[in-house]
């Protein structure tokens, strides 16, 4: 009886340790992906540059980030991960920890548009985005 209890206790400890290791591995992979995504972003233009778009991202937490892009930059980027081509805006959002498997980006249009439905081969200008846009990040 004591041997069975001890084995059960050891098994529970081993399972807990394996779960913690898996969680740590997943967190490390997420941080590594965020770093790759940040590195893949085009350089941010200065606020004094011409033909820029300023995008304010509003997060579910209430926080906000502002990022500028060039109007003629394609919304599509060249970074490929798991056979998905990410959009610059999506790359930026994911680099901040908001994975598009769980979250979506909504424009300030009425009705709101999901950025995932936009033609990512076009530039911000071709999509007729205003010089300032607010994007809300929401859970799916």
Residue 47 domain flag: no
Q: Looking at the structure, tell me whether residues 80 and 120 fall in a common domain.
A: yes
Which of 62-66, 84-88, 136-140 has the highest mean predicted lDDT (pLDDT)?
62-66
Please list, in sequence order, all residues whose beta carbon lies within 8 angstroms of the beta carbon of residue 31, skipping any fewer than 6 positions away.
Answer: none
Residue 33 domain flag: yes
> pTM for this structure?
0.66
Please list, in sequence order, all residues whose beta carbon lies within 8 angstroms of the beta carbon of residue 136, skipping any fewer than 6 positions away.
Answer: 58, 105, 106, 108, 112
- Cα–Cα dist 31/92, whole Å: 14
Q: Looking at the structure, tell me whether residues 78 and 33 fall in a common domain.
A: no
Q: Which domain, by its residues, includes 99?
A: 52-139
Distances (CA, A) of 91 to 44, 48, 69: 13, 24, 12
Please list, in sequence order, all residues whose beta carbon lies within 8 angstroms of the beta carbon of residue 14, skipping any fewer than 6 positions away.
Answer: none
What is the predicted pLDDT for the residue at 16? 92
Residue 30 domain flag: yes
- Cα–Cα dist 118/72, whole Å: 16
Q: Looking at the structure, tell me whether residues 74 and 120 fall in a common domain.
A: yes
Q: Looking at the structure, tell me whether residues 111 and 70 fall in a common domain.
A: yes
The count of domains in the chain is: 2
Summarised one tens digit per residue, pLDDT across range 37-49 is 777 777 888 989 9
């Amino acid at each position: 009886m004591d041997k069975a209890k001890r084995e059960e206790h050891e098994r529970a400890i081993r399972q807990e340790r394996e779960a913690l290791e898996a969680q740590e591995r997943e967190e490390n992979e997420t941080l590594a992906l965020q770093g790759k995504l940040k590195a893949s972003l085009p350089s941010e233009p200065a606020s004094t540059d011409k033909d820029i778009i300023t995008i304010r991202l509003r997060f579910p937490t209430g926080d906000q980030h502002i990022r500028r892009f060039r109007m003629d930059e394609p919304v599509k980027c060249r970074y490929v991960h798991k056979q998905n081509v990410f959009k610059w805006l999506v790359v930026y959002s994911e680099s901040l920890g908001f994975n598009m498997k769980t979250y979506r980006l909504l424009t300030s249009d009425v009705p709101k548009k999901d950025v995932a439905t936009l033609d990512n081969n076009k530039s911000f200008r071709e999509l007729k985005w205003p010089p300032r846009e607010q994007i809300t990040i929401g859970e799916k």
